Amino acid sequence: MTTLIKGARVLGGEPADLLLEDGRIAAVGRRLSVTGADVVDADGLVALPGLVDLHTHLREPGREDAETVETGSRAAALGGYTAVHAMANTDPVADTAGVVEQVWRLGRQAGLVDVVPVGAVTVGLRGERLAELGAMADSAARVRVFSDDGHCVADPALMRRALEYVKALDGVVAQHAEEPRLTVGAQMNEGDRSARLGLTGWPAAAEEAVIARDVLLAQHVGARLHVCHVSTAGSVEILRWAKSRGVQVTAEVTPHHLLLTEALAESYDPVFKVNPPLRTDEDVQALRQGLADGTVDAVATDHAPHAVEDKESEWAQARPGMLGLEQALPVVVEALVETGLLDWAGVADRMSVRPAAIGRLDGHGRPVAPGEPANLLLLDPAARAAVDPAALASRSRNSPYAGRELPGRVVATFLRGEATVLDGKAVR
Amino acid sequence: MKRHLLEAADLDRADATLVLDTAAQIDQALAGREVKKLPTLRGRTVVNLFYEDSTRTRISFELAAKRLSADVINFSAKGSSVSKGESLKDTALTLEAMGSDAIVVRHSASGAPHRLANWVRGSVVNAGDGTHEHPTQALLDAYTIRRRLGRLDGVRVAVVGDVLHSRVARSNVWLLTTLGAEVTLVAPPTLLPVGVGAWPVEVSYDLDAVLPKADAVMMLRVQAERMNASFFPSAREYSRRYGLDARRMAALGDDAIVMHPGPMNRGMEIAADVADSVRSTIVEQVGNGVSVRMAVLYLLLGGAPA
């Protein structure tokens, strides 16, 4: 299968033609012409390497009413992704080779993105003893990222052992940093607003304390640590300090923490309830700055689909989490590109190159250059559209961006040379 | 008035004064009458939707609606379809389909009345939501202060106790300051929310320093179980430092009043002889509650039936 992309601006550079052949980028140049190729007009479009998400909840097995591997894969492709890490908090939990292989196979069957399972750190996410990390690493799913996401590995001794153990697997522990004793019943960021709204506060210190502890542990045992969904200015400071000391720590920030603030909780509409919670504008600015200067390595969606009944309720009863895959790139364009904090190469680095490196994905996060795997997306940076949750490919509707106009439209996505999205629509 | 009464923070000075003035007119109209009833809301239906046990608030709203000749339905979440898992939204739509004009809701979740207001066409009255607000309590407190002291402007009110978990405290902070009173919150730091500094109030950890300057002291209910989560070391220590006993009451000015929203923990935040003293307005507050709630229902529903 051969595709010729005409006039794409690779990383925002000068227009060039891209020839995709046998799953690879065969050539990049001016006025390429090939007979029998599918031609895609990319005039005015920016070409970026296919995005890689370190943090996706696909809900299968267990909550197929909220999302399946297939619907989540489609949402990912539409968002410009070619690989997503599927979090382990399914039912049953992905804490054995059997479950991670099931998720991996479902991903292959859907064939829209590479679905890379994340393995649980502890059995049942209970934080009591290690799951069989080696078996998951050795399985067909080749697990390299381990996380109890949704729960913090709060026990410091257990966290230390997990960090040590995954060294043998070339793995990384992705920590959901939340000191559970400081967040009992927590509903939103603790501060002026939580005081007034009467919603139990989630203090920034509950995140920062765990990150501080874990970077010290990672340094002590010489292991790799990844911090999920960093949400506070203080966390960025701690990461900056740790990196300056040579700690092998990486971190991600979600699109929603780059754009939205706790002010949205005023509506008591639980579509804005998420864990960690939306924070203050000061935090948003610090997170953008941290992402721009590389202290925060990656944007990860924490795409968290929820059924209508789990959100159409009282705030306290609602499940935390929001959709992200289909709007992540537009949010980054608005928050980082249009503000001048990142150029297109920077976007590619934070949304593809670095997350692929953290997840040890060989075929992703590669340059858009001859000989490389043809995983890439075409973005129309000039397009602007209001988000309509009903039009999303996800099976759920809990988008915090409903009605909000965002810049940038993913026109096409290619996975190993094959189009998964064309003209802004999923090919299947 | 707006269509709903969701929070005291919503009320501007004119709206709040209108409620108090209306309550005063209702009191006058009913004074000395043998039949304590007005025909104003005949044919209208008020539902008391209570997800928490609260006999006193429920009865107060029930009486208020009945004295305005409304039909009243009491819907207790316990022993109903709600205990079988029906959602707040489905319950609300069901009640509205049956023809309710107003829903008075008490709920353990902060913001539940706001959610309800999105789903129904009728009026929603917040009868206490989680640790957020209890606006009619604040209105009846303001009404009580105004009756006793003749004014609210410049009145110094000390609100003492578990502010962190208190919807009564929040509503009073907004309403009383809107009406010109000066509020001082008194509590151990553990029972004040982080972020209290943004409120238009003074904060003190020392009850004895505040009492001589207070025109009204509002004691909040403090649950002894809070000591299990280390909000304070023991009930005794709490009582010694923040309880209002006869000795402390003696430090109050001559005309100062003592208030409590009830139910009281006698011996914990308030001593029995204080609760029963001439300064105490506690029983009066209960009576005023009915008048104020009549005023609220009248102002929200008083127009022609929708």
pLDDT digits (tens, 9 = 90+) for A300-329: 999 999 999 999 999 999 999 999 999 999
Is residue B194 within 8 Å of A195, Cβ to Cβ? yes
Is residue A379 within 8 Å of A45, Cβ to Cβ? yes
Structure tokens at B185: 């919150």
For residue A182, list chain B residues with Cβ-Cβ distance below 8 A. none
Is residue A190 within 8 Å of A203, Cβ to Cβ? yes
Is residue A39 within 8 Å of A19, Cβ to Cβ? no
Q: pLDDT grade, residue B36 (50/70/90)?
A: confident
Q: What number of other Cβ atoms are within 10 A of residue B28's Cβ? A: 10
For residue B196, list chain A residues with Cβ-Cβ distance below 8 A. 195
The pLDDT assigned to B160 comes to: 98
**A18 three-state secondary structure:** strand
Examine the pLDDT at A112 and tell me if it is beyond 80.
Answer: yes
Is residue A202 within 8 Å of A181, Cβ to Cβ? no
Strand order in the sheet with A81-86: A51-56, A81-86, A114-117
State the nearest Cα–Cα gap between A314 and chain B, in angstroms.
Answer: 5
A339 and B CB contact within 8 Å: no
The pLDDT assigned to A290 comes to: 98
Is residue A85 within 8 Å of A118, Cβ to Cβ? yes
Average pLDDT over residues B76-81: 68
**Nearest 10 degrees: CA dihedral of B227, B230, B233, B236?**
-20
Cβ contact, residue pair A194, B109, below 8 Å: no
Strand order in the sheet with B71-76: B71-76, B45-50, B102-107, B123-129
Was A151 annotated as part of a binding site?
no
Single-letter residue type at A255: P
State the nearest Cα–Cα gap between B18 and chain A, in angstroms.
Answer: 24
Tell me which residue of A318, A321, A320 sits closest to A304, measured CA to CA.
A321
Examine the pLDDT at A330 and tell me if it is beyond 80.
Answer: yes
- Does domain A2-46+372-426 match CATH 2.40.40.20? no
User: Domain residue spans in chain A?
Assistant: 2-46+372-426, 50-358
Average the pLDDT over each of A262-271, A416-425, B79-88, B292-301 and give the range with the smallest value: B79-88
The verdict on whether B57 is a catalytic residue reads yes
- d(C-alpha A327, C-alpha A321), whole Å: 15
Is residue A178 within 8 Å of A153, Cβ to Cβ? no
- d(C-alpha A125, C-alpha A130), whole Å: 9
Average pLDDT over residues A339-358: 98
The pLDDT assigned to B2 comes to: 83
In A176-322, the DSSP E strands lie at: 188-189, 201-202, 225-227, 249-253, 298-299
Q: pLDDT grade, residue B249 (50/70/90)?
A: very high
pLDDT tens-place string over residues A368-389:
999 999 999 999 999 999 999 9
- Helical segments of A140-246, H only: 156-165, 192-197, 204-221, 233-244
Is residue A287 within 8 Å of A253, Cβ to Cβ? yes
Tell me which residue of A40, A69, A38, A47 sits closest to A56, measured CA to CA.
A69
- d(C-alpha B287, C-alpha B284), whole Å: 5
- d(C-alpha B40, C-alpha A358), whole Å: 70
Q: pLDDT grade, residue B84 (50/70/90)?
A: low
B250 and A CB contact within 8 Å: no
Give me the catalytic one of B57, B91, B144, B178.
B57
Examine the pLDDT at A134 and tell me if it is beyond 60.
Answer: yes
- In eight-state DSSP terms, residue B84 is G
Was B89 annotated as part of a binding site?
no
CA within 13 Å, CB half, A299: 31
Q: pLDDT grade, residue B77 (50/70/90)?
A: confident
A182 and B CB contact within 8 Å: no
The pLDDT assigned to A224 comes to: 98
Cβ contact, residue pair A195, B115, below 8 Å: no
Structure tokens at B201: 């109030």
B4 and A CB contact within 8 Å: no
What lies within 8 Å, CB to CB, of B123 at 6+ separation is: B3, B4, B5, B101, B102, B103, B300, B301
Q: pLDDT grade, residue B83 (50/70/90)?
A: low
Is residue B126 within 8 Å of A279, Cβ to Cβ? no
Q: Which long-range contacts (CB under 8 A, 24 or more apart) does A8-14 make?
A: A8/A42, A8/A45, A8/A46, A8/A47, A8/A378, A9/A44, A9/A45, A9/A46, A9/A47, A10/A46, A10/A47, A10/A368, A11/A46, A11/A47, A11/A48, A11/A343, A11/A344, A11/A345, A11/A348, A11/A368, A12/A46, A12/A343, A12/A344, A12/A345
Cβ contact, residue pair B194, A314, below 8 Å: no
pLDDT tens-place string over residues A254-311:
999 999 999 999 999 999 999 999 999 999 999 999 999 999 999 999 999 999 999 9
What is the chain B residue with the closest CA to A190?
A: B194
User: What values do phi and psi take at B174, rounded to 5?
Assistant: -70, -45
What is the chain A residue with the closest CA to B167?
A: A198
Structure tokens at A289: 């700055």
Given B9, B111, B131, which is nearest A314 (Cβ)?
B111
pLDDT tens-place string over residues B48-60:
999 998 889 999 9
Best of B86, B89, B105, B115 to disrupt the A interface by mutation (most A CBs within 10 Å)? B115
Is the backbone peptide bond immediately before A61 cis, with ω within 30 degrees of 0? yes
Cβ contact, residue pair A198, B89, below 8 Å: no
Is residue B64 within 8 Å of B293, Cβ to Cβ? yes
State the nearest Cα–Cα gap between A313 and chain B, in angstroms.
Answer: 7
Cβ contact, residue pair A198, B129, below 8 Å: yes
pLDDT tens-place string over residues A63-110:
999 999 999 999 999 999 999 999 999 999 999 999 999 999 999 999
Q: pLDDT grade, residue B1 (50/70/90)?
A: confident
What is the chain B residue with the closest CA to A204?
A: B194
State the nearest Cα–Cα gap between A58 and chain B, in angstroms.
Answer: 26
Q: Report the percentage of chain B scoring pLDDT > 90.
A: 87
Single-letter residue type at A377: L
Regarding predicted confidence, which is higher, B2 or B234? B234
The pLDDT assigned to A365 comes to: 98
Average pLDDT score, chain B: 94
The pLDDT assigned to B306 comes to: 38
The pLDDT assigned to B305 comes to: 43
Beta strands A225-227 and A376-386 are unpaired
pLDDT tens-place string over residues A205-241:
999 999 999 999 999 999 999 999 999 999 999 999 9
Please list the residues that pair with A386 across neighbouring strands: A405
Percent helix / strand / coil, chain A, rounded to 5: 35, 25, 40
Q: pLDDT grade, residue B151 (50/70/90)?
A: very high
Cβ contact, residue pair B195, A193, below 8 Å: yes
What is the chain A residue with the closest CA to B108?
A: A316
For residue A314, list chain B residues with Cβ-Cβ distance below 8 A. 88, 107, 109, 111-112, 115
Was B134 annotated as part of a binding site?
yes
Helix (H) / strand (E) element for A346: namely: helix A344-348
Was A321 annotated as part of a binding site?
yes
Cβ contact, residue pair B109, A315, below 8 Å: yes
Q: pLDDT grade, residue B82 (50/70/90)?
A: low
Examine the pLDDT at B243 and tell me if it is beyond 50.
Answer: yes
Given B133, B196, B198, which is nearest A198 (Cβ)?
B133
Given A194, A203, A317, which is nearest B109 (Cβ)?
A317
pLDDT tens-place string over residues A8-21:
999 999 999 999 99
CATH of domain A50-358: 3.20.20.140
Q: Give the active site residues of A.
A: 302
Q: pLDDT grade, residue B304 (50/70/90)?
A: very low
- Report the helix count and the strand count for chain A, using DSSP H and E: 12, 19
Identical fold for domains A2-46+372-426 and A50-358, yes or no, is: no
Predicted interface score ipTM higher than 0.85? yes
Was B303 annotated as part of a binding site?
no
Domains of chain B: 8-133+286-301 (3.40.50.1370), 135-282 (3.40.50.1370)
- d(C-alpha B204, C-alpha A427), whole Å: 65
State the pTM of this model. Answer: 0.95
